[in-house]
Each structure stands twice: as C-alpha cells, then as structure tokens.
C-alpha cells in the first residue's frame, strides 16, 4: 500500500503542476459569463463598470445567445461588484468578483474561478488514475502478499474512484462545452455528492445481494435451526437496504430556509452518504478478495501443508466441515507429488477444547493415517486455540525444522482469506487452499469472516472513515 500511496501522491503533484502551468499560459485570465435578458445588445454598445477600481481588468466583450462572455484579468487582491451597462447607462447584468493574493479570480455568481476547466479535467484524470492504480494493486497482489487489508481497500475503493471519475468526466465535458448551462456550482455539487451517486449506482446490486443473503439464511435456518449467528446475512442485508432507503429519503426531502441552513443539511446528508459508501467499499473489497482467495490454487511446490482444525465429534471422528479441510489438504498433497515428485509434510493444527476428548490435531492425524498418509509425513501442532495461534505455533515448529520453507494451508473456502491475513500477522507467509461447503452455509459463514476482519481493525477503519468524511464534508461546507 505504501507504493500505491506514493504513486497517488506523485500523480497529484504532477496534476497540480499542470494546473499551475496552464494558469501561467493564460496569464490568470478568467472568462466570465453574464446572463442578459435582452436580445438587442451588441458588444460595441456594452461596457463594464467595477465598483472598486484596481481589482479586475475586463477584456473584450462577446454576446452569445442571451449571455455576455468577458475575459477578466486580475489587477490586485480585493473584491468588487462589476456591472454590465448598455449605451444608455442602464444596467443589464451584474457580477461579484474576488481576487486573492495569488491572482485567482473567483466569480461568486457561478462558482467559477481562473483555470476552473483545467482543474476539473485534472481532478477527473486524478480519480480515473487512482482507480487504475488501485485496481492494478489488487490485480498484482500475488502469493502471501494478497492476504492483506490493503488488498481489500484496493479492490473496494477502486470502484468508488472509477464511478467518481466517470461522473466527473461527464461534468467536465459539459462544463467545457456549455459553461453557461453547466457552471462550476453544478460541478461542486457533483464532487461533494460523489458518495450519494455511488450509493445510487450500487443500489440495485446491493438489493440483489441482500435478497441472496436472505435466501441463504432461510435455507441455513431450515437445516440447522434458529440461532442469532445463522441470520447474520439477513441482518446485514436489511441494514444495507435500510441504509439506501434512508439516504434516498434524506436527499429527497425539500429543505427551505437560509443558505446556511440548506448547506448544513446537505453537508449532513453527504457525511452520511460518505460513511455508508465507505462501508460499502470495504464490504465489496472483502467479498471480492474472499471469493478470489477461495478459488485460488497455490503452485504445487509446498514444503508444508498446514491443516487448520475445528470442532469434531465426541467419538473422535471428523465432522463434514473438518473432514473437508483434511481431504482438501490430502488432495493437494497427492497432486503435488504426482506433478513434481515433491512430498510435503502435512501438519494438522489444533489443540484440545474443553469438550473434546483429544486434540483436534490428533483427530486429524488419525484420519490422515486411515487415508494412507505415512505417519512419517505428519507433524502435529496440538496447542493452538484459534486461527492466529494455528499460524503462530505452526511457524515455530516449521522454523525449527526447515527455515524458509514454503507453506500452504488448507481450510474451508469461506475461511481462506481471513486465515491468510492471520498468517501474515503471525509471520508465516503462506497461501491457502479451500474446501467446499454447502451453498446455504457458505454465504453466512463468509459474512462472519468479513465482519471478523473489520472488527480486528476498528481503529484503522474508523480513521479511514474519518478521513473520507472530513474530505467530502469539507467540500460540502465550502462549496455547498
């Protein structure tokens, strides 16, 4: 992620330099558009009068279909009203202009400023380039480096950057081709409301996802009975749909009052949309990475195949879930031996629970031997109590016997990505291979994995959320 951050920062610096260069080429000239109601006006019969001298220097006027276009060059910092008058001295239009110490002309009536079209184009390029950079970071994440939170963020937020960039492309083209009809105020609204537009674009697939989760949970309850953890998918689906409905209700509400009151309301709406969009991006990223990890098959060159344990029956036999993990490990072990001749060490990992007669690792060892695996190719890790300890304790055993060994771990498909994250945190670079489970069990279990991933990084995720809210909230306050 450090490399991605450097690339994005470098891109921003380059685009700022481009904007500055264009400002120099145009000598800080801002082209203002003043609406007029009369159709009998000719440029030679019009003049501009500034209320405060020494602030702006108007250029040659042009009349274009109900508008007067006039180039404005800054003379010095300050603010002034500029009135457009006809030959008889009658006022036909008015502008309120401000010039800062850098020579930037701001037009309060349209929101325009010196070099606004170039700035819009640069922001559009920035958004699209960020989407490309993050997409490439997700696509290029291979091996143990794939199992990170950075991969989740790259996958999810590349979509947000892409949709924002496409929106800004349309806005930039409209402003460049028809600046009178699509002023910078329109562009500001598009930028500050980027999260709201993202929510609207993703509303239909989000609703379809919620329905799919509900269907899988109904099947899960029918097979395993009601339990709060068995309806997690329904709860998340309802929360997602309710969030979309609330956003639509907020943005559809007619707000009257002062400009400050309206701007405050829109800022609150945009802050809510930003928080929801941020959650969506993380969820989408976790789902994409989880599915990709579940389908991935590592290269057949492992030195150790770690098998992650879970509960088994009181009689010592394996449940279908645990048996699926062991069978998947054995299948990978056999395939590697057939393809390369390399015979890896199988390492069942799991301690003894309070309600278990033996350690999970021992139960798996017995099953492996029954499947024809030589006992000499089995090494037990029988102290761990959770996935992190599976990785941590297994690492200790592997480093004693074969430092730098290549490790593949076997677990259930929905658990592959999260296990890889724990492996990296435990200092055991490895790749995962997943066993299949029932269709009605997989979605709910997978959602538990996603929630678990995020709960493990609450401070970091809240910090990311705070940055996004601060950025879009500040845009709403400043630009309205």
Residues 353 and 279 in one domain: no
Is the pLDDT at 272 greater than 80? The verdict is yes
pLDDT digits (tens, 9 = 90+) for 314-363: 888 999 999 999 999 999 999 999 999 999 999 999 999 878 899 999 99
Using 50, 70 and 90 to split pLDDT, how confident is the model at 411? Answer: very high
Residue 339 to residue 89: CA distance in whole angstroms: 92
Residues 170 and 135 in one domain: yes
Residues 141 and 263 in one domain: yes
| Dihedral sign computed on CA atoms, order 91, 96, 100, 106 | negative
Residues 207 and 60 in one domain: no
Is the pLDDT at 144 greater than 60? The verdict is yes
pLDDT at residue 439, rounded to an integer:
84
Q: At what angle do helices 203-224 and 442-455 cross, to 10 degrees?
A: 110
pLDDT at residue 300, rounded to an integer:
95
CATH of the domain at 62: 2.60.40
> Of 86, 107, 128, which one is at a domain's C-terminal end?
107
Residue-wise burial string across 228-254, b where 16 or more C-beta atoms lie within 10 A, e elsewhere: eebbbbbebbeebbebbeebeebbeee
Using 50, 70 and 90 to split pLDDT, how confident is the model at 405? Answer: very high
Q: Mean pLDDT over residues 420-437, rounded?
A: 94
Residue 349 to residue 175: CA distance in whole angstroms: 62
Q: Mean pLDDT over residues 381-398, rounded?
A: 95
- Tell me if 7 is assigned to some domain: no
Note the maximum CA span of the chain: 105
Residues 454 and 468 in one domain: no
Residues 316 and 416 in one domain: yes
- Tell me if 343 is assigned to some domain: yes
CATH of the domain at 314: 3.40.50.620
pLDDT at residue 479, rounded to an integer:
54
Q: Mean pLDDT over residues 445-470, rounded?
A: 82
Q: Are 340 and 348 in contact (CB under 8 A)?
A: no
* Averaged confidence pLDDT in the chain: 88
Residues 55 and 136 in one domain: no
Both tokens assigned to 102? 């850098």
Residue 241 to residue 199: CA distance in whole angstroms: 11
pLDDT at residue 478, rounded to an integer:
55
- Tell me if 164 is assigned to some domain: yes
- Tell me if 197 is assigned to some domain: yes
Structurally, the chain folds into a number of domains equal to 3
Residues 61 and 123 in one domain: no
pLDDT at residue 306, rounded to an integer:
97
Torsions phi, psi for 456 (to 5 deg): -75, -10
- Tell me if 20 is assigned to some domain: no
Is the pLDDT at 417 greater than 80? The verdict is yes
Is the pLDDT at 475 greater than 70? The verdict is no
Residues 127 and 163 in one domain: yes
Using 50, 70 and 90 to split pLDDT, how confident is the model at 194? Answer: confident
Residues 435 and 465 in one domain: no
pLDDT at residue 172, rounded to an integer:
93
The C-alpha angle 320, 321, 326, rounded to 5 degrees, equals: 90
> Of 107, 129, 164, which one is at a domain's C-terminal end?
107
- Tell me if 21 is assigned to some domain: no
Using 50, 70 and 90 to split pLDDT, how confident is the model at 259? Answer: low
The DSSP element (H or E) to which 134 belongs, if any, is helix 116-140
The DSSP element (H or E) to which 329 belongs, if any, is helix 320-340
Residues 163 and 87 in one domain: no
pLDDT at residue 375, rounded to an integer:
92
Residues 60 and 150 in one domain: no
pLDDT at residue 129, rounded to an integer:
96
- Tell me if 18 is assigned to some domain: no
pLDDT at residue 360, rounded to an integer:
95
Q: Mean pLDDT over residues 440-458, rounded?
A: 83
- Tell me if 59 is assigned to some domain: yes
Range scoring the smallest mean pLDDT among 67-81, 309-323, 451-465: 451-465
> Of 107, 130, 163, which one is at a domain's C-terminal end?
107
pLDDT digits (tens, 9 = 90+) for 145-193: 999 999 999 999 999 999 999 999 999 999 888 887 888 888 888 888 8
Range of the domain at 83: 29-107
pLDDT digits (tens, 9 = 90+) for 284-325: 999 999 999 999 999 999 999 999 999 888 888 999 999 999
């Amino acid at each position: 992620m450090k490399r991605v951050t450097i690339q994005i920062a470098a891109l921003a610096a380059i685009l700022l330099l481009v904007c500055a260069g264009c400002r120099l080429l145009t000598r800080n000239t801002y082209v203002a558009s003043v609406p007029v109601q009369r159709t009998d006006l000719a440029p030679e019969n019009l003049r501009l009068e500034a209320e405060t001298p020494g602030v702006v220097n108007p250029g040659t006027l042009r009349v274009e279909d109900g508008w007067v276009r006039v180039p404005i060059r800054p003379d010095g910092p300050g603010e002034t009203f500029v009135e457009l008058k006809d030959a008889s001295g009658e006022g036909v239009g008015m502008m309120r202009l401000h010039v800062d110490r850098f020579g930037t002309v701001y037009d309060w009536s349209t929101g325009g400023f010196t070099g606004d079209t170039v700035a819009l184009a640069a922001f559009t390029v920035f958004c699209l380039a960020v989407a490309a950079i993050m997409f490439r970071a997700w696509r290029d994440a291979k091996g143990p480096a794939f199992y990170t939170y950075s991969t989740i963020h790259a996958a999810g937020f590349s979509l947000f950057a892409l949709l924002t960039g496409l929106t800004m492309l349309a806005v930039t083209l409209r402003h460049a081709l028809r600046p009178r009809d699509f002023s910078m105020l329109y562009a500001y609204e598009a930028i500050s409301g980027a999260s709201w537009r993202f929510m609207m674009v993703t509303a239909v697939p989000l609703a379809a996802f919620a329905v799919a989760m509900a269907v899988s949970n109904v099947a899960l309850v029918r097979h395993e009975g009601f339990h709060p953890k068995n309806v997690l998918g329904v709860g998340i689906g309802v929360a997602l749909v309710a969030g979309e409905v609330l956003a639509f209700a907020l943005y559809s509400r007619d707000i009257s009052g002062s400009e400050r009151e309206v701007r405050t309301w829109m800022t609150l709406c945009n802050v809510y949309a930003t928080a929801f969009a941020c959650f969506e991006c993380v969820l989408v990223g976790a789902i994409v990475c989880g599915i990709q990890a579940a389908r991935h098959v590592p290269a057949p060159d492992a030195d150790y195949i770690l098998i992650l344990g879970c509960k088994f029956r009181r009689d010592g036999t394996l449940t279908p879930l645990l048996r699926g993990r062991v069978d998947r490990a054995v299948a990978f072990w056999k395939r590697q031996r057939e393809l390369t001749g390399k015979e890896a060490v199988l390492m069942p990992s799991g301690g003894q629970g309070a309600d278990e007669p033996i350690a999970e690792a021992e139960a798996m060892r017995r099953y492996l031997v029954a499947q024809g695996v030589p006992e000499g190719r089995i090494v037990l890790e029988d102290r761990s109590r959770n996935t992190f300890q599976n990785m941590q304790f297994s690492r200790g055993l592997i480093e004693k016997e074969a430092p730098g060994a290549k490790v593949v771990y076997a677990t259930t498909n929905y658990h592959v990505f999260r296990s890889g994250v724990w492996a990296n945190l435990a200092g055991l670079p490895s790749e995962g291979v997943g066993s299949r489970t029932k269709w009605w069990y997989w979605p709910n279990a997978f959602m538990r994995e996603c929630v678990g991933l995020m709960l493990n990084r609450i401070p970091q995720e809240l910090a990311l959320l705070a940055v996004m809210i601060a950025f879009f909230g500040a845009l709403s306050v400043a630009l309205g």
